[in-house]
Amino acid sequence: MRFWQALSFTEPEHVVPVAQIAEQVGFHGAFVSDHMFAPEKIASRYPYSADGNPPFSSATPWPDPFVTASAILATTTRLHVSSGVYILPLRNPFEVAKATGTLALLSGGRFALGAGLGWMQEEFALCGHDFKTRGRRFDEMVEVMRTLWRGGMVEHHGAFYDFPRLEMSPPPPGPVPIYVGGGSDVALRRAGRLGDGWIGAGNAPDQLPAILAAIAKARRESGREKQAFETIVALTVPPDADVVHRAEDLGVTGIVSWPLSYQIGPGTSLDAKRAHLERYGNDVIAKLG
């Protein structure tokens, strides 16, 4: 089992040192989060809370995930970094392929693109992208990026993106892994059909069998069941031995430690964060990893 630390809502000045501590105490990777901005008024319903309200305010920091990942990867040696999750259809596939391919190349393959469709209609409207077509554009963006990552002269002719022969250089050492986020039935099917993995947003252990079965079904139907696949879960219960072993038996490959602001509160010192991560490393990773 591999363990990941979510860096969401971490004070920007603490992000890099917290990632370094995470590496020191045995975490496999870290997640960096993504939003472009927070509108003053949000009518869109947040899909991962009972009341539909997001767990952040307009003052919550959202440093650019690729710049943040670059800083972390440059100051660590073993830690992997994934966006968790990047709102892919809010962007241009050329720019995303270039940035992520460079991150993967310069880090020796330690970067993965965790990507989702996004839920905030206001964000799409203000950025000038169609919210309703984001699913279809997501699917084609994945195809476009994997084509560009191959290196050499390539071309693509699709419903949303069309370009003649061109070359994006330098290519990454291989296709950048894409971990699809989202908990809906459609998201699970998309993860199995297109993804190299799936990232959960928070699940109870008894939800995992149905989720993993849905992903496995989509992988079989797409002829991808023999390809490597990461299943990374943020559990809603403490990761004790019984819970972790049962998850591993189901095929879970990674467990996410919740953002530190959820566990020890917001605005904590770096020393408090270090102490918490060291306890997690000793009590969870060293025993169950």
- Give residue 124's identity as a one-letter amino acid code: F
Distance CA(141)–CA(274), nearest Å, equals 38
Cis before 243 (ω within 30): no
pLDDT of residue 50: 87
Locate 270 and state its tokens. 């770096």
- Give residue 10's identity as a one-letter amino acid code: T
Q: CA-CA-CA-CA torsion for 174, 30, 286, 262, nearest 10 degrees?
A: -160
Can you tell me whether residue 86 is helix, strand or coil? Answer: strand
What residue numbers bound the domain in which 166 lies?
2-288
* DSSP secondary structure, 171-217, as one string: PPSSPPPEEEE--SHHHHHHHHHH-SEEE-SSB-GGGHHHHHHHHHH
pLDDT of residue 289: 84
Q: Say how many domains are in the chain.
A: 1
Cis before 170 (ω within 30): yes
**Number of other residues whose CB lies within 10 A of the CB of residue 221:** 12
Give alpha helix (H) positions in the chain: 12-25, 65-74, 93-106, 121-127, 134-149, 185-194, 208-221, 241-250, 260-263, 270-280, 286-288
Contact present, 76 and 18 (Cβ < 8 Å): no
pLDDT of residue 57: 87
What pairs with residue 286 in β-bridges?
none
What pairs with residue 4 in β-bridges?
29, 256
Q: CA-CA-CA-CA torsion for 130, 131, 132, 136, nearest 10 degrees?
A: 80
Q: What is the mean pLDDT of each run of 10 residues along the chain (289 residues)?
A: 97 98 98 95 91 89 97 98 97 98 98 97 96 98 98 98 98 96 96 97 95 97 96 95 95 97 95 98 94
Distance CA(260)–CA(139), nearest Å, equals 33
CATH of the domain at 93: 3.20.20.30
Distance CA(274)–CA(280), nearest Å, equals 10
